[in-house]
């Protein structure tokens, strides 16, 4: 007869169970207060157990358990006791022991996005920090401190979000970000993180121009990056939980940022983070350093740029430069649009241009933010193109809009509006135009050479 060994706090319980019976049935028949909020119907997760040994002695998951396991992204060793039937001996540990455990996962467990109740992952972790901000905070009014800090967090946060990053937490004048939560491979995680770091450095230059003009101060951005295994899940009091990452990978990334401060480097990364993208980035020679709190030394690399700045990266970086004057950008766009093609003006006779400019900026901003995975933006642009047909927009009007778009970019970027920047924007606007015209194609999405997917 199969035996079930329960690893309980400070003791083990060994029970016999008929083959084909469930773990929950054995628990209840022997006086073990095994939580099962849904009555053992496979509709909650309170009876779940960790299979310590003998996973092969359990019958495959039922349809009910499979649905829950897939929705929660459970590994094979997590099973529902009410559904897991025995074919042989097994050792398990209950994951819900008391009322506090039950409250943590039920009710509401079904509302958590997959993986938020705890999973292992290999992600890129990035820490940002700015030097000399403590001295600035001590010398200025609270309003000025909060105002500048929020401008900083907005600038850095946009760089993170545009590259599929997740803002994990704010730590004083620092920020922790993860790349990427969707389970991407190491190359995409590290590629997104590197792009975000370089864009953040560019945005910091703009922030410094603002800070110097208004406060007579400049700040140095420091970035630390590492890639490795960690644990991801929602933690905190049940009224205010947040998805976060834990593990030595997080500690190493934080220590790398501290090492960047000591060495006067702007962007320092571990070789684990650089290796997957080493042919795509410009970096210095690796060197070994003993990080605080670590028992072994780590190979670190300073990142200074991309070997080939693709169109998406160039557009994201330059769009951030003109956004501080976003309304002027939109106003100049429409002035040039009507100058290039006066026949378009009657389409806007009843338009609220304050709202129209906001819609334009939102459309461009959404597209720019999604450039690294453009296929996800295509449906939005396709729907917009269908609405344009109703307004009388013809395909040739998009080319006019593309030319009009370059003019406020040129005036906003001035000497930084190089031929490479012009080509990048022309390329991206071509992707946008093709997506908005897809409703005419009638044969599915159009993919152009060089377009990110």
Structure tokens at 324: 């501080």
Q: What is the pLDDT of residue 391?
A: 87
Collapse the DSSP code of 184 into the 3-class scheme (helix H, G, I; strand E, B; otherwise coil) and give the result.
coil
Phi and psi, residue 306, nearest 5°: -105, 140
Domains of the chain: 3-111 (3.10.20.30), 119-306 (3.30.70.1230), 311-441 (1.10.490.10)
What is the CA angle 428-430-433, rounded to 5? 115
Q: Tokens 């050792």: give the residue.
A: 91
* CA 325 to centroid of chain Cα atoms: 27
* pLDDT score of 108: 45
3-class DSSP state of 54: coil
**Residue 445: per-residue pLDDT:** 43
Residue 132 structure tokens? 């000399």
Cβ-based burial of 22 (10 A; exposed 0-12, middle 13-18, buried ≥19): buried
Residue 143 Cα to chain centre, angstroms: 30
State the pLDDT at residue 443: 42
What distance in Å separates the CA atoms of residue 444 and residue 50, rounded to the nearest whole number? 45
pLDDT at 249: 96
**What's the confidence (pLDDT) of residue 444?**
44
Residues of the chain falling short of pLDDT 70: 99-118, 183, 439-453
Peptide bond into 29 cis (omega under 30): no
pTM of structure: 0.68
**Which pLDDT value is given to residue 111?**
46
């Amino acid at each position: 007869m199969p035996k079930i060994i329960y690893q309980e706090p400070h003791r083990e319980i060994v029970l016999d169970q008929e083959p084909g019976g469930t773990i929950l049935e054995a628990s209840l028949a022997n006086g073990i207060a095994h939580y099962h909020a849904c009555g053992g119907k496979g509709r909650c997760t309170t009876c779940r157990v960790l299979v310590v040994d003998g996973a092969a002695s359990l019958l495959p998951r039922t349809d009910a358990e499979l649905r829950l396991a897939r929705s929660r992204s459970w590994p094979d060793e997590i099973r529902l006791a009410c559904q897991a039937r025995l074919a042989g001996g097994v050792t398990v540990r209950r994951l819900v022991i008391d009322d506090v455990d039950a409250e943590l996962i039920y009710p509401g467990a079904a509302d958590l996005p997959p993986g938020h109740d705890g999973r292992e992952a290999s992600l890129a972790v990035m820490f940002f920090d700015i030097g000399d901000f403590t001295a600035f905070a001590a010398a200025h009014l609270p309003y000025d401190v909060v105002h500048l800090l929020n401008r900083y967090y907005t600038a850095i946060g946009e760089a993170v979000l545009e590259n599929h990053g997740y803002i994990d937490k704010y730590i004083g004048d620092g920020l922790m970000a993860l790349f990427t939560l969707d389970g991407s491979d190491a190359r995409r995680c590290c590629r997104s993180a590197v792009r975000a770091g370089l864009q953040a450095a560019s945005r910091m230059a703009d922030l410094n121009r603002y800070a110097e003009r208004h406060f007579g101060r400049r700040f140095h951005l420091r970035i630390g990056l590492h890639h490795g295994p960690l644990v991801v899940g929602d933690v905190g009091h049940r009224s205010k939980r947040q998805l976060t990452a834990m593990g030595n990978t997080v500690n190493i990334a934080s220590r790398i940022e501290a090492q960047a401060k000591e060495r006067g480097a702007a962007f320092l990364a571990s070789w684990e983070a650089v290796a997957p993208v080493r042919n795509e980035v410009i970096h210095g020679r690796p060197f070994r350093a003993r990080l605080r709190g670590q028992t072994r030394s780590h190979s670190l690399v300073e990142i200074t740029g991309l070997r080939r700045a693709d169109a998406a990266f160039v557009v994201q970086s330059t769009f951030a430069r003109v956004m501080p004057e976003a309304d002027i950008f939109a106003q100049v766009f429409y002035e040039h649009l009507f100058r290039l093609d006066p026949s378009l003006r009657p389409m806007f006779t009843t338009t609220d241009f304050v709202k129209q400019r906001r819609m334009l900026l939102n459309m461009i901003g959404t597209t720019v933010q999604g450039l690294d995975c453009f296929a996800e933006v295509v449906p939005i642009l396709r729907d917009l193109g269908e609405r344009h047909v109703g307004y009388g927009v013809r395909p040739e009007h998009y080319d006019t809009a593309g030319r009009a778009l370059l003019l406020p970019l040129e005036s906003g970027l001035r000497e930084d509006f190089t031929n490479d920047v012009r080509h990048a924007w022309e390329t991206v606007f071509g992707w946008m135009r093709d997506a908005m015209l897809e409703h005419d194609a009638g044969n599915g999405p159009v993919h152009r050479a060089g377009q990110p997917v």
